[in-house]
Structure 1
Amino acid sequence: MIDSLLCESSPKNWEIITVRKSARSQSVCSTPSVCMSEDEEETLPALNHTSYILQEHHIESLAAHLPPRVQGCVWDLVYSTVQHGTSLRTLYRKTAQIERPVLLLIKDLHNQVFGAFSSHTFRVSDSCYGTGETFLFTFGPEFKTFCWSGENSYFVRGFLDSLQMGGGGGPFGLWLDADLCRGSTFSCNTFRNQPLSPHQDFTIQAVEVWTFQ
């Protein structure tokens, strides 16, 4: 067949199209109503409980910044101050059997929402733990994430009287007290973050911890 085409007395005009060009041509839509963007095609992750803190825009922003290994997973609520009371010991007890990453959400009395993704669940520890997947985030006034700076590995450390995230040469990136009523947030070397709340010493309205199934 190839020989017969090449030997025609009046050869047709042939266009060579690369694989990349072909794929690009197939993705072009004739009208906007026919085509959906990649963002529109994506669906929000499923949550197995109602959240007191999370709204749709919170979920959408956080889902896009989670590590690949938990993307697409169902979000499972394992601790909530609204359901389980305000106690760091209770938080530790509720997460004791989890061997997966966790998402810590905080809402302060000024309705600021912020928190952290931790590569490991929260527990009482003799030293800092976690990996470079861990990051801090805030929604006030716009969504920002603060990833590992590489300067130190002070990701998470749990005490009976406090939970600490980030540190080195000064205050913590995020600190919560034993009753989960008060906390603080400052710039730290671990994440090179801005304070997560305009009120660096804040009063807590609600705390939630989610994991991924």
Structure 2
Amino acid sequence: MAQDFSPETESPALLPSSQPGSRPPGITPALSPLPCVTVGKLFLQWAFLSHLSNAPVIPASPSSLGQELSLHLPPSVTGRSWSLAFCTARDGFSLRSLYRQMEGHSGPVLLALKDQDGQRTTKFFPLQTARSSAPQMFGAFSSSEFRLSRGFYGTGETFLFSFSPQLKVFKWTGSNSFFVKGDVDSLMMGSGSGQFGLWLDGDLYHGGSHPCATFNNEVLARREQFCIKDLEAWVLS
């Protein structure tokens, strides 16, 4: 069972500040819901879900990337179907909206992000500008839904990952239990010495990634601080 941990040494005060409700120029939320096939483009282009379930939610073709990542998921989700609970293309850039979309879900979450610096030409994104050694995408598997919490919660099944372009998975080291923590203005995964493995601000526009003791991870994005281009959260159907 997931538990909340409240370490006094780990504080979101180190996170860069942002104006509540602000949104970068040119970015507006969709006015109406779009089909999963349209907005679920991160995992669709990974062709990922075809390797997570026997009956995928969206049509997908086999992908070596999807096969590799599916091998790291816990046995409890093997053969299960996934559905798109939240995406910035449909639901806008808001952490509060992400929390609202998580209501009613009590299971694991797959989080996929693409930053504005990590654009490169591949068979998945042929129209993007190439940038050498920049991760294509990155994200996390959380054993529990994202929610507001007083302290860290989750289990050792939680992990971080990146494609750069090869898959790298950073699993729990056992050093601490700082898996996930949800605040009104930030979402954090992994911590140690005041740094977070992955954090997102309240506007889901700015984020950061640092090596942390929880996962002994590398920086997931091209830079320690990044701007989010796309974000999706998938839950078990």
TM-score range, shorter chain: 0.7 to 0.9
Is 1:185 aligned to 2:209, yes or no? yes
Letter in 2 for 1:155: F
Rounded to whole Å, the distance in 2 between the matches of 1:198 and 1:86 is 21
What SS is found at the alignment partner of 1:153? coil
Q: Which has the higher contact order (CA 8 A, sep 6+)?
A: 2
Residue deviations 1:155-211, cap 9 Å, x none? 000001000000021310001010111100010010011111121111101110001
Is 1:103 aligned to 2:110, yes or no? yes
Match of residue 92, structure 1, among 87, 99, 102: 99
Rounded to whole Å, the distance in 1 between the matches of 2:161 and 2:190 is 12
Letter in 2 for 1:91: L
Provide the residue aligned with 1:81 in structure 2: 88
Task: Give the CA deviation at 1:65.
Answer: 1.1
TM-score with structure 2 length normalisation?
A: 0.67
Match of residue 195, structure 1, among 219, 222, 231: 219
Provide the residue aligned with 2:57 in structure 1: 48
Task: Give the CA deviation at 1:63.
Answer: 1.4
Task: Give the CA deviation at 1:59.
Answer: 2.6
Is 1:65 aligned to 2:72, yes or no? yes
Q: CA RMSD in A?
A: 1.9
The 5 Å alignment of 1:23-38 reads none
Provide the residue aligned with 1:206 in structure 2: 230
Task: Give the CA deviation at 1:50.
Answer: 7.2
TM-score with structure 1 length normalisation?
A: 0.75
Gaps of 5+ in 1: 1-42
Task: Give the CA deviation at 1:99.
Answer: 0.9
Moved over 4 A (4+): none
Considering only CA atoms, is the larger Rg found in Structure 1 or Structure 2?
Answer: 1
Rounded to whole Å, the distance in 1 between the matches of 2:170 and 2:70 is 15
Match of residue 153, structure 1, among 172, 177, 181: 177
Residue deviations 1:124-162, cap 9 Å, x none? 100100000000000013101000010100000000100
Rounded to whole Å, the distance in 2 between the matches of 1:177 and 1:106 is 13
Rounded to whole Å, the distance in 2 between the matches of 1:204 and 1:55 is 27
Q: Please tell me whether the aligned partners of residues 174 and 184 of structure 1 are also in contact (alpha carbons under 8 angstroms).
A: yes
Rounded to whole Å, the distance in 1 between the matches of 2:107 and 2:69 is 17
Identity of aligned residues (%): 47
Q: Decide whether aligned partners of structure 1 residues 126 and 103 sit closer, same or farther in structure 2, where only a CA change above 3 A counts.
A: same
Q: How many residues align?
A: 169
Letter in 2 for 1:47: P
Rounded to whole Å, the distance in 2 between the matches of 1:131 and 1:187 is 19
Name whichever of 124-133 and 111-120 sits farther off: 111-120
Letter in 2 for 1:86: F
Gaps of 5+ in 2: 1-49, 120-135
Letter in 2 for 1:152: N
Provide the residue aligned with 2:138 in structure 1: 114
What SS is found at the alignment partner of 1:176? strand
Rounded to whole Å, the distance in 2 between the matches of 1:178 and 1:184 is 13
Task: Give the CA deviation at 1:55.
Answer: 8.9
